[in-house]
Amino acid sequence: MPTMKKDITVNVPPETAFAYLSDITRHSEWAKHRVEIQPDSPGSLAVGSTFRSTGHDMGTNVDQVKVITLEPPRRIAFEADGGQGHFRHQFTIEPSNGGSRITKEMESLRLAMPWKLLLPVLGPFIGPPLLKGDLQRIKQRLEGTQPGPEAAAG
């Protein structure tokens, strides 16, 4: 399966974008489906840090997430391995017109059934809109144009 890639420009410096995206436990704030992410490894984020991700999209899916690249404030990559397959995700952040251009990439390394059959056909129709939606939600969070869960509680 080829790598899917989309980008968006946000009005925050690269350091701010990187700090937000590298806090993997906050990915639930912008993910399309409900997900809880808990750190497995103690200490500061580093290459090799692991997390347990419980997603609720087409059932409950548990993934082991491992940071494979960490280059502040430019790039973070991690792999998620679980029942639906093994996927590599990467964010690249570059300065752009006083803000940042964030590129999100996703690559399927291994697919479980039925994804092995469906993704080659449906991937071009599912992947790009999924990445675009994630990036739009990230932009809203970073630019403060969407209230966070704490605003809804208060």
Q: Residue 83 has what pLDDT?
A: 75
Work out the pLDDT band at 80, boundaries 50, 70, 90.
Answer: very high
pTM for the whole thing?
A: 0.82
* pLDDT mean across residues, the chain: 84
Confidence check: pLDDT of 90 > 90: yes
Cα–Cα distance for residue pair 35/27, rounded to 1 Å: 8
Superfamily of domain covering 4-143: START domain (3.30.530.20)
Per-residue pLDDT reduced to its tens digit, 113-123: 555 555 555 55
According to DSSP H, which parts of the chain are helical? 14-21, 115-143, 149-153
**Nearest-angstrom CA–CA distance, 154 and 139:** 23
Which pLDDT score, from 0 to 100, does residue 128 have? 64
Domain boundaries, the chain: 4-143
